Structure 1
């Protein structure tokens, strides 16, 4: 098949959406399919020779200078896409390039697939004047876009059910983004010590992700302060960058744990395995994830997880088996962390179960599932799509 992929973010921008697109594209190519990407232009990509990647003029946003918004002029979209012989159009956003892809699918009478990557209403804090009306509006917008599509992909069954609750009436199939588990089994356990001075005798509570409000990291900082009162050898390491870093640094010192919290900044994907390898458990307070790809990575590295019970975490973490899902406040979160710190046998059992679970979410297996959905859609097998929707 020839698949046209439209996305409002792509490399060199770093995000879970970009990771997902790159992973599925790589695996689909291995299965013999052709992928044509339509994405924003970034200053760093000027002059690069990219195969089957079509870039559009773009401008950076005021709330995030690293994020660029494309200007997909309709004639340019048609000019790029004409003659490609596309079989499916798959969009990864309901906005600029997603809308362009949807219009192209309609004009060419092609099946339209949309992956619902993001809980858009949970990011309205980046729009200072947004309120409840804006939240209802963005949910209605997302629902209407989903209902224009022939198939909606969600990273988890939890998000699938949420969309049905919003009023989405089209087939929805859960297909998580897969990982390469073997990449997270061979990290350097001394990485954090050698690069960030974390003493080797400390037990690391690790977070990996954007340092933004939507990740609920103030909650994690307060929970860690409670943990630190009970154990002397715990250190919190935050891997990532974002607008909340300065405020969180101040908060750490206010809570009296400033000397036990390490901010690494953003790390290249190829070295993040070292951070996982040097950790004792993975702490994930976010309540806005549709999947939480880092949860799967952490489990692949053999880390038990303590996470807030919301959306993606509910699907990725087996409560009491691969980690703990918390439904209360900082006290409960801290208590579950302390259970794992205090009971080495419990930690070992959960670590082993986590590693086994992660292998079920390999990139190859998830790409095969996406291929199956594409084929059912192209062949008009509506019953097969409905069956797939119930499988996850």
Structure 2
């Protein structure tokens, strides 16, 4: 198959969406398919991979690390015709999603959307009329989904949510899988070799974006309380984002030093695997996840998880089996972390089950599910086209 991916974010930007696209592209290519990426450009970044088409872009006013594509690409119509794509798979309903929709309609190509994000939960980036912005966002994204042939979601929670938004097209749950082979042979001493972390300290790890929706002030304040009970602990935040300065200021105000809370910035995936293996526990307080891909990545490194119970995340964590889920309650969250750290039998049980959960979520298994969906859509399109031709022949056409 020849698959066109239209996305509003791609490398070098780091996010769960980018990881998802990269993982599926790699696995689909290994399965023998051709994958073409249509994405925004980034300053001073040159692609080292084939089949990537970059649109002229401008910096986002609310996130300087992110660029917004200008949906004009001279000669794109000829490129699309030449590529003869079998499937167009858009990764958001916005700028590049609209481009993908246009060409899917024009050339009668099956159109899939992956509903990666709770877009209505990001309206805090809009300076005014946030309630109205939320309502408009829900109506717009739902309408876009209803113009697609099929909707993919990363969790059952998100399926139920967008059904409430009146999305009436077929929906399939296909989480982003984990490339388990990349988690082999990791350096479990990487964090201590690169940062001043005492040998006896337990390392709590967060991976993600430093943004409001990740609920990081809650996590940092919880860590302060954890450290009061278990002094030999360190919190590592492997991420970058617009809240970095604010969060560092919060740490200072709470009396947490640079050796108590470590900001590593964004790291390439190869190094991130070492970071996961260097930690003892994964902690997560986000309330807006569609899947929480970093949670399953942590499990692939054998990390138990303590997370706030929220959509997406609760699909990935079996409470009491491979992690602990809590309410967004500071004392409850702190108690859960401390219990896992001091109860060795519980820790070992959660760790073993985390490994087993990750094995069920391999990237190849998820890619095979996506391949099956693509094949079904192509068969349906061919059937409808042939049926239309047969009907036309009845009238002498």
Partner of 1:111: 110
Q: Which runs of 4+ in 1 moved over 6 A?
A: none
Structure 2 residue matching 1:380: 3-state secondary structure: helix
Structure 2 residue matching 1:379: 3-state secondary structure: helix
Q: CA deviation at 1:76?
A: 3.6
Q: Deviations over 1:129-187 (max 9, x none)?
A: 24111111101111000000000011111111111111000001010111112333432
Q: CA deviation at 1:270?
A: 0.8
Please tell me whether residue 318 in structure 1 is matched to residue 318 in structure 2: yes
Q: 1:68 to 1:315 in 2, by over 3 A?
A: same
Question: Aligned equivalents of 1:23 and 1:105: distance in 2?
Answer: 23
Q: Is the 8 A contact 2:126 2:133 kept in 1?
A: no
Question: Aligned equivalents of 2:237 and 2:113: distance in 1?
Answer: 32
Partner of 2:141: 142
Question: Aligned equivalents of 1:132 and 1:62: distance in 2?
Answer: 20
Structure 2 residue matching 1:43: 3-state secondary structure: coil
TM-score by length of 2: 0.92
Q: Is the 8 A contact 1:61 1:68 kept in 2?
A: yes
Q: Is the 8 A contact 1:185 1:300 kept in 2?
A: no
Question: Aligned equivalents of 2:49 and 2:188: distance in 1?
Answer: 36
Question: Aligned equivalents of 2:272 and 2:82: distance in 1?
Answer: 41
Please tell me whether residue 85 in structure 1 is matched to residue 84 in structure 2: yes
Q: Is the 8 A contact 1:5 1:91 kept in 2?
A: yes
**Unpaired segments ≥5 residues, structure 2:** 382-397
The worse-fitting range, judged by mean Cα deviation, of 137-146 and 79-88 is 79-88
Partner of 1:210: 209
Structure 2 residue matching 1:311: 3-state secondary structure: coil
Q: CA deviation at 1:51?
A: 2.4
Q: CA deviation at 1:35?
A: 1.1
Question: Aligned equivalents of 2:73 and 2:178: distance in 1?
Answer: 35
Question: Aligned equivalents of 2:129 and 2:48: distance in 1?
Answer: 40
Size of the aligned set, in residue pairs, is 381
Q: Deviations over 1:17-55 (max 9, x none)?
A: 111111111111111111122112222345x57522222
Question: Aligned equivalents of 1:354 and 1:217: distance in 2?
Answer: 24
Q: CA deviation at 1:75?
A: 6.3
Question: Aligned equivalents of 2:267 and 2:49: distance in 1?
Answer: 24
Q: CA deviation at 1:374?
A: 0.6
Q: Is the 8 A contact 2:188 2:274 kept in 1?
A: yes
Structure 1 residue matching 2:82: 3-state secondary structure: coil
Structure 2 residue matching 1:123: 3-state secondary structure: helix
Q: Is the 8 A contact 2:63 2:241 kept in 1?
A: no
Q: Is the 8 A contact 2:65 2:241 kept in 1?
A: no
Q: Deviations over 1:34-83 (max 9, x none)?
A: 1122112222345x575222222221112222222212237643122012
